[in-house]
C-alpha cells in the first residue's frame, strides 16, 4: 500500500496554511544536530526548535562520519557554529555487526559489500564519545562547541554525555 495519496493530501492542507516562505537559508540558531533516522524521534520537537532554527542531519545511528559532508557544507557555506550529537536508547545500530549485515546482503543479493562499514556500535555512550571526538579531530570541521547527548526513547529525556 502506497503512502503517496496521504502525503499529497497532507501536503495540500499544509501548504494552504504555509506562512514560513521567508525563512533564511542559514539556520537562525547557527547549529547542526546529527541524529539517528529512527522514526520514533523528532529532534527538532524534542529539543524545542522550529523550522529555520537548525540543520538536522539524520542517518542510521546518527553517526558523525556519515554526516561529515553535510557538516562541512553547513559550517563553511551556511554559518553553523555549534554541533549537537544525539544518539538514542533502543537503537537498531546496537543489534547487529558489520559481518552480520554483510552476510545477509551476500546471501540475499550475491553482492560482496566487504568494503562498506555500516557503523554499528556496541556501547551507546561510547558511540557518542567517538562521534564527538571524530568531529573534534577532523581538520575539515571548524573548532566549535560539540556536545553529545543520549535521548531516552521511553521518557523523551536527553542525557548529556561527558567523558
Mean pLDDT of 16-34: 97
Tens-place pLDDT, residues 94-103: 999 999 999 9
Residue-range domains of the chain with CATH? 30-93+124-161 (3.40.1050.10)
Average pLDDT over residues 130-138: 98
Taking the alpha carbons of 130, 133, 138, 140 in that order, is the dihedral positive or negative?
positive
146-151: strand order across its sheet: 54-59, 31-36, 82-88, 146-151, 158-161
Max intra-chain CA distance, the chain:
50
Task: Please give the pLDDT value at position 66.
Answer: 97
Amino acid at each position: 500500500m502506497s503512502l503517496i495519496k496521504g502525503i499529497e493530501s497532507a501536503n495540500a492542507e499544509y501548504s494552504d496554511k504555509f506562512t514560513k516562505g521567508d525563512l533564511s537559508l542559514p539556520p537562525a540558531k547557527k547549529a547542526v544536530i546529527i541524529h539517528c533516522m529512527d522514526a520514533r524521534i523528532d529532534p527538532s520537537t524534542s529539543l524545542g526548535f522550529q523550522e529555520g532554527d537548525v540543520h538536522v542531519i539524520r542517518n542510521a545511528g546518527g553517526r558523525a562520519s556519515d554526516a561529515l559532508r553535510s557538516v562541512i557544507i553547513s559550517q563553511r557555506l551556511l554559518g553553523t557554529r555549534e554541533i549537537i550529537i544525539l544518539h538514542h536508547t533502543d537503537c537498531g545500530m546496537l543489534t547487529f555487526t558489520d559481518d552480520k549485515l554483510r552476510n545477509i546482503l551476500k546471501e540475499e543479493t550475491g553482492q560482496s559489500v566487504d568494503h562498506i562499514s555500516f557503523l554499528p556500535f556496541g556501547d551507546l555512550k561510547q558511540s557518542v564519545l567517538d562521534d564527538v571526538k571524530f568531529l573534534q579531530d577532523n581538520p575539515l570541521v571548524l573548532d566549535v562547541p560539540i556536545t553529545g547527548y543520549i535521548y531516552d526513547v521511553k521518557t523523551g529525556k536527553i542525557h548529556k554525555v561527558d567523558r
